[in-house]
Structure 1
Amino acid sequence: MKVMAVNAGSSSIKFQLLDMPSETQITSGIVERIGSENALFTIKYNGEKHVVETSILDHGVGVNLILEGLIKHHVIKDINEIEGVGHRVVQGGEVFKDSVLIDEKVLQQIVDLGEMAPLHNPANATGIKAFKAVLPNVPQVAVFDTTFHQTMDKDAYLYGTPYEWYTKYGIRKYGFHGTSHQYVSEKANQLMGTTDTKVVVCHIGNGASLSAVKDGHCVDTSMGFTPLEGFPMGTRSGSIDPAITSYMANKLNASAQEITDILNKKSGYLGISGISNDARDIEQAIVEGNERARLAFDVQAKQIADYIGSYHIYMGGLDAICFTAGIGENSSVLRQMIIDRLAVLGVKLDAELNKLRGERLISTADSKVKVFIIPTDEEVMIARDTIRISHK
């Protein structure tokens, strides 16, 4: 069964075609700069990469280009070979506690939840509409970033705001990167040979979040009502004193939205270092002796260690720490900086193993907590749920 996993943004469509249930990736690609005359369509198949620059004025044109490309490059013979399409949707609120088959009601609910995720849900909905128009008889499934975190208790997801903010307006912690956290925590349990575990997943990319997973269920996570909460990321500030926003609005003569944009797009690695939001650039600058670059990593590492320590207490112990996503999987420097701060918990890295990449145990034999690198695969999770939901 061929399943398409789709992640639609405001001006892009990322996709993978997978053969299920073997979970083999057949092809992948991306449509970029949707809405422009010089948009790009990239498809990778059989070790070859094909890039076309063309006019792609809307998502519908992008979807048609993808499907035509699959046939042109002999990935499939015709579009009827695609038997399911799974769509990443960022915000499911409290409406969706599981992935769901998309009908008109579900699509409208996704659009309505866009008020809480204005940069993501409207784009996700646009992608869904475009695929439904071209593949009207193929099951389309929405897979939400927030679903995995729906098992949190109220003491973990409520804020210290008036309770009516929660009951009337849905103000609470939702968490994101859920498909990644689920995939990695399940893989960790497989590696340890049991589901009776206490695991912390560190999904560290340009956007980054942690989750505490007890016996396979999320009990806490670092991102909140939006992906801005948590620890500093590539361009996001992470959690700050909320009074700073009004204070800096006055100082800069800026609107609340302008301050939010700064916290989302000009903070984190970029804001602290003054160099870049790319961890590779930060590492190179550290080697060259740049103190602000080191500070960018230090601040993030310290706050990640703080979260891990609190999760250790909340879960009543800790069996494994798992690093995943672009930085988590590839930055031995940041992993070491984080684990060094956890020495009090008896966590020890094997320095040589930590230099390697790919799925592996990187802690020492006498470490009280196992440390893994586990490459994530969100597309596989989307494909799995597409099959599970469409076959109900």
Structure 2
Amino acid sequence: MRVLVVNAGSSSVKLRLLDEHDSLVRSEDLSAGTDGIDTARLADVLRAWPAPDVVGHRVVHGGTRFTGAVRVADEVRAGLEDLIDLAPLHQPKSLAALDAVTALLPDVAAVACFDTAFHSTIPEAAATYAVPREWRERYAIRRYGFHGLSHAHCARRAAEVAGLDAPRIVSCHLGAGASLAAIVDGRSVDTTMGFTPLEGLVMATRSGTVDPGLLLWLEEHEHLTPHEVATALEQRSGLLALAGTADMRDVEARAENGDPDALLAIDVSVHRLAGAIGAMAVAAGGLDLLAFTGGVGEHSALVRRRAAERLAFLGVAVDSRRNDAAQGDADISAVGAAVHTVVVTAREDLRIAHEARTLLDG
């Protein structure tokens, strides 16, 4: 079954056409700015490509209703629209891509695959916030978690690379957005992102976890509006706030030259990362396998090394030569380390294709 994977991001729409063996047949990234998707270019691309048997769409938020892949019909489309309030920065882009591709391929089945669905298995103790019951019930406030498609692929592939059967895994998706997942027997049991993709680790321009009292203090004493606070946390925080650049490659280059802000940014990021990995290991009941994926996870030997050093007490150790030379999927564990450490290339497209085929075949 040939699958067209449509992955709508903040600034682009990634199109990947996979054959029945998951070989990449065609690949194209289209611009998707504030004016929307380049529909003319999209039409040109799809006309030139072999016709798919199914289209798999990445959708960021499935809420509590969509806990697995679902074939898109009018009722489902309306349900996805209802979830915009829970992901106002991401959901509209997913829906715009869905509508644009469906208009061009109206007779091809469309399947929505959700970043939140993988985390629908986390227990209530991990999912529940200690806030008033009426808030939780009225607004469906809970830990949803994100990057689920990436974590699901990473966990499966990491176990293959390490040669382990259903281990206790902590998956680290580190990129412009970053989150961890604790995975046991292939199921997510905890994750660092929460009700929104702001919670958790230090990210490129997102703050990660901050004291909610700080936000209330800023609104009261600095007279900031909720919109101003949200904009600052989403777009002017993280690495950008600490080092003046949102690109970890630039941060590392500046740190090598002794830039104090860059050194602090790395220290803060690794401190949060290592602490969160420890917390995920607790949620998993131990740690057999540590996996890094995403742009930073795949390409920053420094971040992997520094994190491993902080986690030595758990049995994590990486081989410096393997770590520095890692390309693609790679085992970077030190000989004799109690915990395996691997690098996995982020391939959300493979997970989406798998979910789409499974749904239609089932």
Q: TM-score, normalised by structure 2?
A: 0.95
CA–CA distance in 1 between the matches of 2:40 and 2:359?
Answer: 25
Shift in Å, 1:169 = 1.1
Aligned pairs for 1:165-204 (under 5 A) are 165-204=135-174
The alignment partner of 1:82 has SS state of coil
Q: Given residue 218 of structure 1, which amino acid in structure 2 is its aligned partner?
A: S
The alignment partner of 2:161 has SS state of helix
Q: Residue 209 of structure 1 is aligned with which of 170, 179, 183?
A: 179
1:98 aligns with 2:68: yes
Shift in Å, 1:249 = 2.6
1:368 aligns with 2:344: no
Please say if residues 99 and 141 of structure 1, whose CA atoms lie closer than 8 Å, have aligned partners that are also in contact.
yes
1:223 aligns with 2:193: yes
1:88 aligns with 2:58: yes
CA–CA distance in 1 between the matches of 2:283 and 2:34?
Answer: 47
What is aligned with 1:50? none
RCO (CA 8 Å, sep 6+): is it higher in 1 or 2? Answer: 2
Structure 1 residues 276-312: Cα deviation after superposition (integer angstroms, max 9, x where no partner) = 0000000000011011111111111111111111222
CA–CA distance in 1 between the matches of 2:116 and 2:132?
Answer: 23
CA–CA distance in 2 between the matches of 1:139 and 1:310?
Answer: 41
The alignment partner of 1:355 has SS state of helix
1:112 aligns with 2:54: no
What is aligned with 1:336? 305
What is aligned with 1:131? 101
RMSD: 1.6
CA–CA distance in 2 between the matches of 1:378 and 1:259?
Answer: 31
1:318 aligns with 2:287: yes
CA–CA distance in 2 between the matches of 1:99 and 1:117?
Answer: 18
1:279 aligns with 2:248: yes
The alignment partner of 1:93 has SS state of coil
Please say if residues 169 and 183 of structure 2, whose CA atoms lie closer than 8 Å, have aligned partners that are also in contact.
yes
What is aligned with 1:234? 204
Gaps of 5+ in 1: 37-57
Aligned pairs for 1:5-44 (under 5 A) are 5-9=5-9, 12-20=12-20, 22-34=21-33
CA–CA distance in 2 between the matches of 1:205 and 1:34?
Answer: 20
Shift in Å, 1:9 = 4.5
Structure 1 residues 136-185: Cα deviation after superposition (integer angstroms, max 9, x where no partner) = 11000000000110110000111111122222211010000001000010
CA–CA distance in 2 between the matches of 1:190 and 1:238?
Answer: 31
Gaps of 5+ in 2: none
1:391–1:196 Cα change, 3 Å: closer
The alignment partner of 2:83 has SS state of helix
What is aligned with 1:52? none
1:66 aligns with 2:42: yes
Q: Given residue 90 of structure 1, which amino acid in structure 2 is its aligned partner?
A: V
Shift in Å, 1:200 = 0.3
CA–CA distance in 2 between the matches of 1:197 and 1:7?
Answer: 29
1:298–1:34 Cα change, 3 Å: closer
Shift in Å, 1:70 = 4.4
1:309 aligns with 2:308: no
Shift in Å, 1:251 = 4.2
Q: Given residue 324 of structure 2, which amino acid in structure 1 is its aligned partner?
A: K
1:358–1:208 Cα change, 3 Å: same
